[in-house]
Amino acid sequence: MPPYLSHDSLVKGGESPKPTISEPRPAPTPLFKAEPALVLFEFSSIARGMVAADAMVKRSAVELIHAGTVQPGRYLVLLGGEVAEVEEAMKAGKSVGGPAIEDVIWLPGVHPDVMVALHPANQPPRTSPTEKDALGIIETRTAPAAIHAGDIAVKGAQILLLSIRLSDGLGGKGLVLLTGLVSDVEAALELVRNRLDSLTLLHSEVISQLHPDFVQNIVGQSRFFR
């Protein structure tokens, strides 16, 4: 019997069954699913980055989530999958990429909200900030550092990641926006400041109370994902 038909819906005497829904329909699959592990490479050479990306996916059974050129003339490669497979691919990337690696972040237990924040426009609707919420702003020197900052923040404090933007439209930098109670946002930023060095973390700021006219203008879309 199909799972969506209850026993009461089967009518005797040759009548057509009248289906009744007994289970909710499954939610649509997000565009970028959460992976147990994630690695993001930023290469200063586009050519070497492409060679390294090919070597990584040949070395191990990982999902090439996205790869492409970004400002200012760099190449990003984002891989996800099981921890062992992603770690093996990362080793290949480091070996082939060599001095062309500008930065890399390896997250064996990445928080699912990080993937959502990377492309919020193609995800199910989420809670939007209001004028009562605080806004946390994290600006990093590289794209991998932005993902690292977002992961640190969402794991360490009760905040909502709004977006993580990578490189394009930012002069090669990374930008993380998060929201929540003032105390939680401040705690998240303090954790990030303690974990990222001064060369990687450029700026971190808190807007304690958003102006109503500003709420709808704070979440930009990353041009890295199209």
Q: Per the CATH hierarchy, to which homologous superfamily does domain 113-215 belong?
A: BMC (bacterial microcompartment) domain (3.30.70.1710)
pLDDT tens by residue, 10-69: 334 444 444 443 344 343 344 445 568 999 999 999 999 999 999 999 999 898 888 999
Q: Can you give the residue ranges of every domain in the chain?
A: 37-110, 113-215
Q: Where residue 124 falls among pLDDT bands split at 50, 70, 90?
A: low
- What's the one-letter identity of residue 22? S
> Quick check: 78 and 107 in contact, CB under 8 A?
no
- Domain 37-110: top CATH class: alpha beta
Q: Where residue 167 falls among pLDDT bands split at 50, 70, 90?
A: confident
Q: How far is CA 151 from CA 49, 62, 84, in A?
A: 24, 20, 20
> Quick check: 176 and 140 in contact, CB under 8 A?
yes
At residue 193, does pLDDT exceed 90? yes
For 108, the token pair is: 């064996």
- Which DSSP helix (H) or strand (E) runs through 55? helix 46-59
Residue 119 confidence (pLDDT): 75
Model-level pTM?
0.78
Residue 29 confidence (pLDDT): 41
Residue 50 confidence (pLDDT): 98
Intrachain domains 37-110 and 113-215 with the same fold: yes
CB atoms within 10 A of CB 44: 16
At residue 78, does pLDDT exceed 90? yes
